[in-house]
Amino acid sequence: MVTVSTPRQTLDYQIVDVFTETALEGNGLAVVFDTVGLSTERMQSIAREFNLSETTFIQRRDPETEAREGVRVRIFTTQEELPFAGHPTLGTASVLKLSAPETLSADTIKLALNVGPVPVRFKADGLFGEMTQRDPEFGAELEPATVARLIGLTIDELHVSAAPQVVSTGTAFAIVALRSHESLARLRVEQEEATKYLREHGGRWFYVLGPTGGDTPAWRARMQFCGGEDPATGSAAGCAISYLVRHGMVAPGREIHVRQGVEIGRASDLFLAADAVSGKVGNVRVGGSTVRVAKGELFLP
State whether 91 and 144 are in the same domain: no
Please say whether the beta carbons of 289 and 123 come within 8 A: no
State whether 127 and 93 are in the same domain: yes
Please say whether the beta carbons of 271 and 289 come within 8 A: no
β partners of residue 54:
29
Cα distances from 168 to residues 7, 109, 135, 264, 294, in angstroms, run 41, 23, 8, 26, 32
* 294, part of any domain: yes
pLDDT recorded at residue 5:
66
* 2, part of any domain: no
Give residue 12's Cα distance to chain centre.
23
Task: Give residue-wise pLDDT tens across range 175-225.
Answer: 999 999 999 999 999 999 999 999 999 999 999 999 998 777 899 999 999
State whether 48 and 108 are in the same domain: yes
State whether 252 and 158 are in the same domain: yes
| CA 261-264-267 angle, 5° bins | 35
pLDDT recorded at residue 1:
62
d(CA 194, CA 188): 11
Residues in the chain where the model's pLDDT stays below 50: none
DSSP result, 212-276: --SSS-EEEEE-EETTEE-S--HHHHHHHHHHHHHTTSS-TT--EEEEE-GGGT--EEEEEEEEE
Please say whether the beta carbons of 16 and 293 come within 8 A: yes
* 1, part of any domain: no
In three-state secondary structure terms, 67 is: helix
**pTM, 2 dp:** 0.95
* 3, part of any domain: no
CATH number of 108's domain: 3.10.310.10
pLDDT recorded at residue 7:
74
State whether 126 and 193 are in the same domain: no
pLDDT recorded at residue 4:
61
Q: Are strands 172-177 and 205-211 parallel, antiparallel or unpaired?
A: parallel
Backbone angles phi and psi of 42, in degrees to 5: -70, -40
Backbone angles phi and psi of 245, in degrees to 5: -70, -45
State whether 37 and 54 are in the same domain: yes
Q: Measured in Å, how far apart are the chain's first and last C-alpha atoms? A: 20
* 48, part of any domain: yes
State whether 92 and 117 are in the same domain: yes
Angle 234-246/86-99 helices, nearest 10 degrees?
120
| Domain count across the chain | 2
State whether 279 and 294 are in the same domain: no
Domain that holds residue 227: 137-287
pLDDT recorded at residue 215:
74
